[in-house]
Amino acid sequence: MSLVPIIAAVFVLLVFTLKLPSPNTPVWAGLKAIDWPGSFLIIGGTLMLLLGLYLGGVYEPWNSATVVSLIVSGVATGALFIWNEWKLAEFPVLPVHLFKTSSSSSAYAVTFFHAFVFLGVAYYLPLYFQAVLLASPLRSGVLLLPFILPISISAALTGAYIQFSGKYLIVSRVGLMIMTLGMGLMISLDIEMNWAKLISFQILTGIGVGLNFEGPLLSVQAVVPHKDVAAATTAMGFVRTLASGISVVIGGILFQNEMKSEYQTLEDSLGPDLARLFKGASASASVDLIMTLPTESQLVVRTAFFNALDKMWIMYTVFSGVGLLLSFLMKAHHLSKDHQEAHLGIINVAAEPNQADEVDLSTGTSESQEMRRITPRP
């Protein structure tokens, strides 16, 4: 299904409904204000790192000059990006001071691990449906609904709850607990269709994922000055996008290496020519061939896919658990009800007081339940 009509409808809706004050910034001044070095450094560094990880162990040996140079260059470029944002850029793409508190740093880390697990499951669970359960692509999409629908519902309910109560920390932690539990249970999925496990495990994981779209973002927005809210939100989106890309690449590396380790078993059953089609990077592209094999050969191939994906569920469970642990470094804050006009364009805004005050970590509440603006401690 094409998303173009939906995107076009949203664009038209925004044109007629989104009213923002225009700063009338000259075009040339706006272009000069863009952090071009930072933009090129982060794009180049990310591409080199991901490409090096993607090639390593599958297309090229890990110690090959190509892989080593790409990974080292990617890391070095990332270091240059941080230095540029810290020392040189007047309007940095990713302001370094956003990470100066443990609460905001841990919130960004939680976002990274949350997105890493979410995209990994959404990307590789259909592969389990098609390669192990022999579902068609259409049926695979239907089987994914127990994961997708709870995400939408729990995310919507979370927004309403936070708006009503002002509490987001406990929601975030509970969500990470549920997501970790759901991922851990996925390790026990069967090679044959088990409806109870398939539906319940997806629902649990989906609920956990949906509960964590708001909490980390609010944790950051609550501690930064008002002038930095837009930058903090953009940085959160960047971290989420980066985690999504890394998740698919790392998951692909693990899956392809596991399929390579299954090659001997596949060769004994299928012969070298057919087995080669299910080796490494070729495996996911050859899923449609499984249905054309004899029943006994199908079972061998399905078992190989099942074993490879099982290792991936373990990896994503570990990453989810790390995100849960990091969430205990996040701190709860009062959320302000004060409305302030957005700052657009190139302007110099004086330092503003933080929008929050830290409160009890275990409950996410404070001595005063009143939602108010807090003057920061000196």
Residues 136 and 274 in one domain: yes
Whether residues 282 and 200 fall in one domain: yes
Task: Of 314, 254, 310, give the one whose Cα is nearest residue 131.
Answer: 310
Written as six digits, the tokens of 137 are: 């692509």
Last residue of a domain, one of 51, 73, 93: 93
- The model carries a pTM of 0.81
How far is 166 from 365, CA to CA, in rounded Å?
9
- The residues, ordered by sequence, that sit 6+ positions from 189 with a Cβ below 8 Å of its Cβ are 128, 197, 198, 201, 310, 313
Same-domain check for residues 138 and 217: yes
- Token pair 């001071």 is found at 97
- Verify that 87 and 146 share a domain, yes or no: no
User: How many residues are present in the chain?
Assistant: 378
Domain-located, residue 116: yes
User: In the numeric block, which tokens belong to residue 342?
Assistant: 């957005």
End of a domain among 76, 93, 110?
93
- Angle formed by the axes of helices 36-55 and 65-83, to 10°? 150
Indicate whether 349 belongs to any domain. Answer: no
Q: Is 23 within a domain?
A: no
Rounded Cα distance between 359 and 369, Å, is: 11
Is 86 strand, coil or helix? Answer: helix
Domain range for 132: 100-333+358-367
329, 229: one domain: yes
Distance CA 76, CA 82 (A): 10
pLDDT at 348: 47
Q: Are residues 322 and 271 in the same domain?
A: yes
List of E strands, the chain: none
CA dist 149 and 199 (Å) reads 11
**Residues 56 and 114 placed together within one structural domain of the fold:** no
What does each C-alpha distance from 42 to 31, 195, 211 come to in angstroms?
18, 44, 29
What pLDDT is attached to residue 350?
40
In a domain, 293, yes or no: yes
Give the CA dihedral 274, 275, 281, 282, nearest 10 degrees: 10
What's the Cα-to-Cα distance from 127 to each of 23, 95, 122, 196, 221, rounded to whole Å?
Answer: 49, 38, 10, 19, 37
Cα–Cα distance measured from residue 265 to residue 81, given in angstroms and rounded to the nearest whole number: 46
Same-domain check for residues 104 and 89? no
Inside any domain, residue 30 = no
Which are the contacts of 156, defined by CB distance < 8 A and separation ≥ 6? none
Q: Is the dihedral of CA 57, 61, 63, 67 positive or negative?
A: negative
Name the nearest CA neighbour of 149 among 216, 212, 209, 217: 209
Tell me the C-alpha distance between 16 and 1, whole Å.
26
pLDDT of res. 21: 67
Residue pair 129/143 in contact (Cβ under 8 Å)? The answer is yes
| DSSP string of 1-27, one letter each residue | --SHHHHHHHHHHHHHH---------H
In a domain, 142, yes or no: yes
Report yes or no on 352 lying in a domain. no
Per-residue pLDDT of the chain (378 residues; tens, 9 = 90+): 456 788 888 888 888 887 766 667 777 777 777 888 888 998 899 889 888 888 877 778 888 999 999 999 999 999 999 999 888 888 888 888 888 888 888 999 999 999 999 999 999 999 999 999 999 999 999 999 999 999 999 999 998 888 888 888 899 999 999 999 999 999 999 999 999 999 999 999 999 999 999 888 888 888 887 777 888 888 898 899 889 988 988 898 889 888 888 888 888 888 888 888 888 777 888 888 898 888 899 999 999 999 999 999 999 999 999 999 999 988 877 666 666 665 665 654 444 444 444 444 334 443 333 333 333 333
Residues 253 and 161 in one domain: yes
pLDDT at site 365: 42
* Whether residue 73 sits in one domain with residue 114: no
* CA torsion, ordered 265, 269, 272, 274, to nearest 10 deg: -110
Q: Domain for residue 17, yes or no?
A: no
**Are 205 and 58 members of one domain?**
no
Is the domain of 235 the same as that of 259? yes
The DSSP secondary structure of 132-161, one letter per residue, reads: IS---HHHHHHHTHHHHHHHHHHHHHHHHH
What phi, psi does 333 have (nearest 5°)?
A: -140, 160
The C-alpha angle with vertex 154 and arms to 153 and 157, in degrees rounded to 5, equals 90
List the CATH number of the domain containing 167: 1.20.1250.20
Instruction: Choose one of 77, 93, 109: the last residue of a domain.
Output: 93
| Structural domain count of the chain | 2
CA distance 183 to 175: 12
